[in-house]
Amino acid sequence: MGFSSDVGDWHESPNRAIFEANVRLLGGILGVDRPVLGLAGPTTSHSRPVTTPGDRFKQPNMIIDTHCHLTFPDFEHRIDDVLEDAASAGIAGAITISTTTEDCLDARDIADAYDNVWCSSGVHPLYSDRAPHVWENLLEVARHPKCVAWGELGLDQHYDRPLQDIQRSVLEEQLAFIERHQPEVGLPVVIHCRKAFGDLIPILRASSLEPTRFVFHCFTGSPDDMRMLLDFGAMVSFTGIVTYKNAMEVAEAARLTPPDRFMVETDAPFLTPAPHRGVRPNEPKFVAATARFLADLWSMPWDVFERHANENTERFFGIHVPQAASDG
């Protein structure tokens, strides 16, 4: 299936290699066969200063955005405002996901600066050809108290590059690294899987990691893919794609999801959900629209949806989701 681009015009990139990698990343997510413009990619320096949050971010709310990329240039010098807007929309916080062994350090710095932001540590398959990978950086971040997951990692078979041999080699090396250090850090794993369920799940099953400790983020598959994922035992997370009119197969697959196996995310700055589709960049505040769509799809009262979403998030990531104070 194809999804139209939700990014704006790209005028100039300071680093063409980073730009091209992000074209592949966004194109792989959206399923387009032409370059997608308007994206510069994650930063590669961990020296960028992070603004100290104000007290306004400590107000409890309802759910969190379990997967976004606050290290991307779209959010540079804007994180205070992004989190404030999210809080106003009832979003209590966010998990910023790393894509390389360099930007994981930025993700850690951001998480360290905000009480309601957490991070992950991993190499995205579409960045698997950006060697050398400094695996020790991943461990350094994974040891941080605000790091709540490995990843995102996995396989992406939409494009012919990076070559599948490279993706598989880096995936296997990364999984072996995680297995070696898992007794110390014990983190769950965020999975990127694009048109690769049949190949990726056997690789994950062959590892020593528990299936329940994987979450397949940004689900874009079919009902059969969902059955395979659920039979494996993993969690699944939904982005704004499930709200798109040209993604009915994803919504149909979502109907199969048990209430104790889902989470919700933006994958910001990508994939702004309907009815905000076309707004650029996507931000954590818009996860509320995806959540409401899923609640309606499942005919689930909002308070029940909120309870399941928070219980699943807390159980999987080992964090506490702040709750809004009840009236009266």
Most confidently modeled of 60-74, 231-245, 313-327?
231-245
Bridge partners (DSSP) of residue 190 are 215
Average pLDDT over residues 11-26: 37
User: Which three-class secondary structure state does DSSP give residue 151?
Assistant: strand
Q: What is the pLDDT of residues 117-141, one digit of tens each?
A: 999 999 999 999 998 999 999 999 9
**Which residue has better confidence, 57 or 162?**
162
Pairing between β-strand 117-121 and β-strand 91-96 as defined by DSSP bridges? parallel
Interhelix angle 135-142/103-113, nearest 10 degrees: 10
Closest C-alpha to 125, from 40, 4, 21: 21
- Higher pLDDT, residue 309 or 6: 309
Per-residue pLDDT band for 322 (boundaries 50, 70, 90) equals: confident
Contact 1, 246 (CB under 8 A): yes
Per DSSP, helices labelled H in 31-115 are 79-88, 103-113
b/e burial code for range 93-115 (CB count within 10 A of at least 16 → b): bbbbbbbbbbbbbbbbbbbbbbe
Average pLDDT value over all residues in the chain: 85
Report residue 91's pLDDT band, with 50, 70 and 90 as the boundaries: very high
Q: Using alpha carbons, list the distances in angstroms from residue 197 to 155, 179, 202, 225, 251.
A: 9, 21, 9, 6, 18
| Mean pLDDT within 43-57 | 38
Q: What's the CA dihedral at 22, 27, 33, 35 to 10 degrees?
A: -40
* Pairing between β-strand 235-238 and β-strand 262-264 as defined by DSSP bridges: parallel
β pairing state of 235-238 and 91-96: unpaired
How much is the pLDDT for 33? 32
Q: For residue 10, what pLDDT is reported?
A: 22
pLDDT at 34 over 50: no
> What pLDDT, on a 0 to 100 scale, did the predictor assign at position 325?
55
pLDDT at 159: 85
User: Minimal CA–CA distance to 50: which of 16, 91, 83?
Assistant: 83
CA distance 66 to 145: 17
Q: Answer yes or no: is pLDDT of 178 > 60.
A: yes
- Banded model confidence at residue 51, pLDDT cuts 50, 70, 90: very low
Listed residue (285, 235, 263) closest to 86, CA to CA: 285
Record the tokens describing residue 94, joined without a space.
Answer: 């966010």
Mean pLDDT of all residues in 198-222: 98
Beta bridge partner(s), residue 157 = none
For residue 42, pLDDT beyond 70 = no
Q: Looking at the predicted structure, is the pLDDT value of residue 54 above 80?
A: no
Domains of the chain as residue ranges with CATH: 64-317 (3.20.20.140)
- The pLDDT tens digits for 229-273 are 999 999 999 999 999 999 999 999 999 999 999 999 999 999 999
Q: What percent of the chain has pLDDT over 90?
A: 77
Question: What is the CB-side half-sphere exposure of residue 55 using CA atoms within 13 A?
Answer: 0
Report the pLDDT averaged over residues 215-238: 98
Task: List b or e across 2-26, with b for residues whose CB sees 16 or more CB atoms inside 10 angstroms.
Answer: ebebbbeeeeebeeeebbebbbbbb
Q: What is the largest CA-CA distance in the chain?
A: 59
In the chain the first and final C-alpha atoms are separated, in Å, by: 48
Q: Which two tokens stand for residue 312?
A: 């699943």
Q: Which residues contact 326 (CB under 8 A, 6 or more apart)?
A: none
